[in-house]
Structure 1
Amino acid sequence: MKSELYRSIPRCGNYHRPRFYEQFLKLWELILLENSFSFYYAEFM
């Protein structure tokens, strides 16, 4: 799973990669947070 995510990240220059990767991680965190919240909400309703 992790390697597939890493492979989907475009191979750009070393200068751009860290910044892009940081944004990607933030987005991934947000998605996970949203999913866990909706799951939690569904469990207790």
Structure 2
Amino acid sequence: ASKIIYLLKNPSEASRFGENGYKMATSEFNLDKMIDNYLKFYE
């Protein structure tokens, strides 16, 4: 709970967390990468 309170008191830090999470999600879970992973799995 203390980490959530910290982010509520520091909106710029919360924004940075969100931006980094978005970048990680879009780079790790994009369609091309998911297709490649499925193809490798079933080969």
Please give the TM-score of this superposition, normalised by the length of structure 1: 0.51
Work out the CA distance in 2 between the residues paired with 1:32 and 1:13.
22
Unaligned runs of 5+ in 1: 1-6
Higher RCO by CA contacts (8 Å cutoff, separation 6 or greater): 1
* 3-state SS of 2:29 partner: helix
**Identity between Structure 1 and Structure 2 (%):** 8
Count of paired positions? 37
Decide which structure has greater helix share. 2
Please give the TM-score of this superposition, normalised by the length of structure 2: 0.52
Unaligned runs of 5+ in 2: none
Query: Which one has the largest radius of gyration?
Result: 2
